[in-house]
Amino acid sequence: MKLKLALEVLGFLVLAALVAFLPRIVGDFTVYEFAIVGMYFIALLGLAILTGYSGQISLGHGAFMAVGGYTTAILSVDGIFGHELRDLWTIPIAGLVAGVAGLLVGVPALRLSGLYLALITFGIAVSFPQLPKKFDHFFGGTTGKVLNLVKAPFGLETTPNRWLYYLTWGIALVLLALAWALLRGKPGRALQAIRDSEVAAASSGVNPATYKTLAFGISAFYAGVAGSLYVMSKAYMNPDVFPIILSVYLVAALAVGGLESLVGLIAGAALIYVLQNRADDVTRWINHLPVLDLDPKQPGMPSVVFGVVLIAVMLLLPTGAGGLLRRLFGPLTSRLYSKS
Amino acid sequence: MVVPAFTWTEFAQQIAAGIRSGAIYAGLALALVIIYRSTRVINFAQGEMATFTTFICWSLMNHGFSFWTAFPIVLAIAFVGGVAIERVLIQPVENASVLTIVIVTLGLALLLNGLMSLIWGGANRQFHGPFSTRTIDVGGVPISVQDIGIVVVSFSLVALLGLFFRYTKLGLALRAAAVNPDSSRLVGVRVGWMLALGWGIAALLGAVAGMMVAPVVFLDPNMMQTILLYAFAAAVLGGLDSPIGAVVGGILLGLTITLLERYVGFVGSTLKLPVALLLILVLLLLRPGGLFGRVAVRRV
């Protein structure tokens, strides 16, 4: 076990080094793109805790991201008690507000299982954008709110995109380490036990209600932080910033990344970004295959490509990118374990 | 928001409109329930499958077919398409986790939606239905022929399906395969094909719902998305594994939403969906299996 721990710590350090080194070799805009990927990664970490470990399917995580986003927008534009907050300090508040919202959803979720929960959370995702339209004084309605552009604090000499990148990935790595520490110990075991059999877990002394609600809260906290960062990167907030389909994309990306692999989620996060913003590049790349001649500019093409990719990944790699990693490195590491 | 004065005639019209939307939700909800009972997943592609077949109907009508000649052709295409989808896409992941199958249906929804934009373009289209929109007098209340037609067609189909499931050997085999696949296999039911047949029937139900709703709203690739959400809600309301529940849930939901939108000023059209979902959530907290569903007893 010690060796496994050492390997995991080593893997984390390699990842951190890669993250720190990356902006030195790519351009400014690519750095921005990777920052966005980092934000999706944070949201996916939260979803992995909830869906991957505690087994509760949420199709409403886009709404929790929007809660975080609105918290940041309202605090930094309208302020609280007449003080506008610096965007940086709204990040933890956004996480907490979303976390509380998650706990509130988590309590009724205790009585719903499986697909009932999926449908109710999907209902949350669909309903949430209606609230800013109804209470437009507070939320800014369909036009929304315009934030100040992101700027590096403390007089740091760096471009806004680089600052955003380091900020996002700094937070992402801390949250990754936290999730890992949480899931490898007692809480992780308890959550997995609940996922596999709630009755068996309860009879072994695990309290499913506490753990499931907590999982919802923590998961929503992650989503809130991600939403806050995303709004900072866009510098505006309205109901369209987090479209309903985002909640669906997040679950799809979780499945693509692999339900139980935290690092594999980076692949899922990249997939959301690429397919939302770079679908025509993907189409052009697919055109290199023989026979095919697709027009990347045609409407509907991104959906077709995303759909085919999702189905293909699920048919070919049912355990996602994380499962693929495990299959590739499994023989190697299992040999290491048997020696130790 | 000012709510206009209340009249009984208008109230009766609202009820009729509620039942008309309810009949459409019921049809699609029934499709979801049929697939849920056999495959244990929610088919997120149900709405896009229905829209796709409605587009086929539109194309046929553009090539000179009348609605009622196109209707059976479209139903046949929908049925074969549903069976083919199950055999090609769902069967390989049959034993995978629920999430995996859900993702496959989501992928299918995206794929079909994109294909519709590619083939027919994303613009709104007028779909000329088989029923006229003129109103006739029913007991002193003017109700459109179209509304009555939609309700009659939807409920005849539901009734036919009910008879099929209840009184034919194939219907019995379908139900058996859904309830207990292993024992059904032992007595010679080909469970795999029963699942495919279930998908075919669901696709057929969806096609009818699509062709009925298209004259009311406009036909575009996203036509069924909101309706699918209401159908989900209706299926959950009635209990995901109860076909009768799906129909009752659909009607109840159609009525609730129409009346809420019209008579509760604060709710209006922006909050009708959230409020309806909130009501369903409350109901689920009281009865976790929905109105007609059963809560499974778990054994360790």
Which residue in chain A has the smallest CA separation from B274? A127
Chain A residue nearest residue B93, CA to CA:
A315
CA–CA–CA angle A95, A97, A100 (5° rounding): 105
**pLDDT for position B295:** 65
pLDDT at A333: 58
Contact A200/B300, CB-based, under 8 Å? yes
pLDDT band at A339 (very low <50, low <70, confident <90, very high): very low
- Structure confidence at residue A340 (pLDDT): 40
Write out chain B residues lying below 8 Å of A126, CB-based. 229, 273, 277
Distance in angstroms (rounded) separating the CA atoms of residues A16 and A138: 40
Q: Which residue of A has its CA nearest to B123?
A: A299
pLDDT of residue B112: 93
Question: What local confidence, expressed as pLDDT, does residue A63 receive?
Answer: 92
The Cα B233–Cα B236 span in angstroms is: 5
Phi-psi region of B121 (alpha: psi -120 to 50; beta: other; left: phi over 0): left
Q: Kindly report the nearest CA distance between residue A102 and chain B, in angstroms.
A: 16
- Cα separation of B103 and B87, whole Å? 17
Please check whether residue B75 is in contact with residue B204, taking contact to mean a CB–CB distance below 8 angstroms. Answer: yes
User: CB of B251 within 8 Å of any CB in chain A?
Assistant: no
Backbone angles phi, psi at B94, to 5 degrees: -50, -40
Residues of A in contact with B277 (CB under 8 A): 120, 123-124, 126-127
Rounded to a whole number, what is the distance in Å from the CA of A264 to chain B's nearest CA?
Answer: 16
- Tell me: pLDDT of B241 over 60: yes
Dist. CA A207–CA A78, nearest whole Å: 41
> Which residues in B lie closer than 8 A to residue A111 (C-beta atoms)?
284-285, 288
Can you read off the two tokens belonging to residue A196? 């596999």
Question: What pLDDT is attached to residue A332?
Answer: 59
What pLDDT band is residue A226 in, cutting at 50, 70 and 90?
A: very high
- Single-letter amino acid, residue A53: Y
Whole-angstrom Cα distance, residue A299 to residue B45?
A: 19
Residues of the domain holding B80 = 26-224
Half-sphere exposure in the Cβ direction for A2 (13 Å, CA): 2
Q: Which tokens hold the place of A219?
A: 């998961």
**What is the H or E stretch that residue A48 is in?**
none
Looking at residue B219, the DSSP 8-state letter turns out to be B
Determine the Cα–Cα distance for residues A42 and A35; give it in Å rounded to an integer: 11
Partner residue facing A301 (CB), from B96, B118, B274: B118
pLDDT digits (tens, 9 = 90+) for B84-106: 999 999 888 887 777 788 888 98
Sequence-separated (6 or more) residues with CB below 8 Å from residue A58: A47, A50, A51, A117, A118, A121, A216, A219, A247, A251
Q: Angle between the B169-179 and B8-39 helix axes, to the nearest 10 degrees?
A: 70
- For A313-333, the pLDDT digits (tens) are 888 876 666 667 666 666 655
Chain B residues near residue A311 by CB distance under 8 angstroms = 89, 104, 107-108, 111
Inter-chain CB proximity B111 and A303 less than 8 Å: yes
Rounded to the nearest angstrom, the minimum Cα separation between A307 and chain B is: 4
* Contact between A126 and B42 using a beta-carbon 8 Å cutoff: no
Q: Containing H/E element for A146?
A: strand A145-146
Q: Report how far residue B249's alpha carbon sits from residue B46's, in angstroms, rounded to the nearest whole number.
A: 18
The pLDDT score that the predictor gives to residue A329 is 67
Residue closest to B19 by CA, chosen among B257, B228, B280: B257
How far apart, in whole angstroms, are the C-alpha atoms of residue B103 and residue A252? Answer: 6
Please answer whether residues B15 and B146 qualify as being in contact, where contact means their C-beta atoms are separated by less than 8 angstroms.
no
pLDDT of A334 over the 80 cut: no
Cα distances from B254 to residues A296, B15, B263, B272, in angstroms, run 40, 9, 14, 11
Where would I find the H helices in A48-86? 61-77
pLDDT in tens, A231-284: 988 888 888 888 888 888 888 888 888 776 777 888 888 888 887 777 777 777
Retrieve residue A209's tokens: 């209600």
Q: Please report which confidence band the pLDDT of residue B59 belongs to, taking 50, 70 and 90 as the band edges.
A: very high
Q: What is the pLDDT averaged over residues A284-306?
A: 71
Q: Would residue B124 count as lying in a domain? A: yes
Note whether A223 and A72 are within 8 A (CB): no
C-alpha span between A60 and A65 (Å, rounded): 9
Classify A206 in phi/psi space as left (phi over 0), alpha (psi -120 to 50) or beta: beta
Torsion, Cα B283 B289 B293 B297, to 10 degrees, reads -160
CA distance B296 to B267: 35
Whether pLDDT at A290 is above 70: no
Does residue A40 or residue B131 have the better pLDDT?
A40
Assigned domain for B230 exists? no
pLDDT the model gives residue B77:
95
The length of chain B in residues reads 300
pLDDT of residue A1: 64
- Residue identified by tokens 């039911």 is B189
Cα A9–chain centre separation: 22
Q: With an 8 Å Cβ cutoff, are A197 and B298 in contact?
A: yes
* Higher-scoring residue by pLDDT: A305, B208: B208
Q: How many Cβ atoms sit within 10 Å of the Cβ of residue A67?
A: 25
In order of their start, the domains of chain A are 2-339 (1.10.3470)
Question: Taking all residues of chain B, what is their mean pLDDT, rounded to a whole number?
Answer: 85
Q: From residue A70, how far is each of A153, A266, B89, B144 by CA, in Å? A: 22, 25, 39, 44
pLDDT of residue A227: 92
Does residue A336 carry a pLDDT above 70?
A: no
Amino acid found at A90: T
For B93, the closest of A114, A301, A315 (CB atoms) is A315
Cβ contact B208:B157 at 8 Å: yes
- Residues in chain A within 8 Å Cβ distance of B104: 310-311, 314-315
- What pLDDT was estimated at residue A320? 67
**Cβ-based neighbour number of residue B290 at 10 Å:** 25
Six-digit token string for B122? 């994303």
Does some domain include residue B169? yes
B272 in any annotated domain: no
Residue of A303, A308, A316, A317 to mutate when probing chain B, most B C-beta within 10 A: A303
For chain B, the domain total comes to: 1
pLDDT at B52: 94
With a cut of 0.95, is the ipTM above it?
Answer: no
Pairing of strands A236-237, A145-146: antiparallel
Q: Which of A51, A134, A301 minimises the CB distance to B114?
A: A301
* pLDDT exceeds 60 at position B298: no
* A311-333 burial code (b ≥16 CB/10 A, e <16): bebbbebbbbbbbbbbeeeeeee
Q: Residue B203: inside a domain, yes or no?
A: yes
| Structure confidence by residue, pLDDT tens digits, B182-203 | 888 898 888 888 889 999 999 9
DSSP bridge pairs for B143: B136
Taking only the tens place, the pLDDT of each residue in A127-146 is: 888 777 777 777 777 777 77
Cα B268 from Cα A308, distance rounded (Å): 39
- Contact pairs from chain A to chain B, CB under 8 Å: 146
Taking the Cβ of residue B297 and every Cβ of chain A, the question of whether any pair is shorter than 8 Å is answered with no
Our CA dihedral for B113, B118, B124, B126, rounded to 10 degrees, sits at: -100
DSSP string of A207-267? -HHHHHHHHHHHHHHHHHHHHHHHHHHHTEE-TTTS-HHHHHHHHHHHHHH-TT-TTTHHH
Residue of B nearest to A55 (CA): B99
Which positions in chain A touch B123 (Cβ < 8 Å)? none
The answer to whether residue B241 sits within a structural domain is no
Report how far Cα B194 is from the mean position of its chain's Cα atoms: 20
- The separation between CA A17 and the C-alpha centre of its own chain, rounded to angstroms, equals 21
Q: Does B300 touch chain A (CB under 8 A)?
A: yes
Interface probe, candidates A61, A110, A115, A248, chain B, greatest B C-beta count within 10 A: A115
A14-65 pLDDT, tens digit per residue, is 888 888 888 778 777 888 888 999 999 999 999 988 888 888 888 889 999 9
Judging contacts by C-beta atoms under 8 Å, the chain B residues touching residue A315 are 89, 92-93, 104
Q: Let me know if residue B166 belongs to a domain.
A: yes
User: Which residues are A83's β-sheet partners?
Assistant: A80
Instruction: Sort A21 into a burial class: Cβ within 10 Å, 0-12 / 13-18 / 19+.
Output: exposed
- Residue-wise pLDDT tens digits, A108-118: 777 777 777 88
Tell me which H or E stretch contains B42. Answer: none
Name the 3-class secondary structure at A199.
helix
Nearest CB to A116; choose among B106, B121, B236: B236
Is B40 part of any domain? yes
